[in-house]
Amino acid sequence: MKNYQKTFKDWNFRHDMSERVFIIHGWSGSPDEPLLKWLREELESKDIDVVALKMPETDEPKVNYWINFLAKEVGGIDEGTYFIGHSMGCQAIMRYLEMVKGNKRAGGAVFIAPWLHLTNLDEDDVEVPVCDTGGICTYTFKIHVIDLINNKRLIYESKPFDVVLDEAIENL
């Protein structure tokens, strides 16, 4: 893994809305939950463009509604687009990113207490992944660790690797 260390001053945000952070809350949550509100305020104090979304139907959320809402609110993504998710918000972010067409990549995602396995889904909530889970898919992981206390960011990026998701899930 590569290890990069930068201060927030080194982020070089252009402030033209092409580089931004989206915060996605969880089930029955809101963008004003204490942790998410604090995080939004800390990032904004560093002159980082932050969009904290109020997700639809939070008491009885539907994954597809959340994905479509994200697509509408986020618009296009590039390596200047970052996501921070909490609980079910992490699931929505992953599924949204999985459905992005073309060779577009987000700059990164941070998951807080992620809810990664959904059960009892309605048939219309189940999406076919872009890559067949029974076939070989190539992935990379890029993890951003944000240290607000010391004003630093660490980035860990894996080398591309191939995996058959069905086999990997069995071994969890």
Supply the Cα-derived Rg of the chain in whole angstroms.
16
* Stronger pLDDT, 148 or 26, i.e. the higher one: 26
What is the structure's pLDDT at 45? 87
pLDDT higher than threshold 50 for residue 150: yes
Q: What is the mean pLDDT of residues 56-68?
A: 89
**Are 137 and 165 in contact, with CB atoms under 8 Å apart?**
yes
- Dihedral in degrees, nearest 10, Cα atoms 71, 38, 105, 121: -50
Report how far Cα 118 is from the mean position of its chain's Cα atoms.
Answer: 17
pTM of the model: 0.63
* Stronger pLDDT, 161 or 8, i.e. the higher one: 161
Beta strands in 59-103 (DSSP E): 81-86
pLDDT-based confidence at 63, cuts 50/70/90? confident
pLDDT higher than threshold 80 for residue 124: no
Mean pLDDT of all residues in the chain?
Answer: 76
- State the Cα–Cα distance between residues 15 and 155, nearest whole angstrom: 21
pLDDT higher than threshold 70 for residue 74: yes
Q: What is the mean pLDDT of residues 51-79?
A: 91
What domains does the chain contain, in order, with CATH numbers? 2-118+130-170 (3.40.50)
Neighbours of 156 (CB within 10 A): 13
* Stronger pLDDT, 121 or 58, i.e. the higher one: 58
- State the Cα–Cα distance between residues 4 and 42, nearest whole angstrom: 21
Neighbours of 145 (CB within 10 A): 13
pLDDT-based confidence at 30, cuts 50/70/90? very high
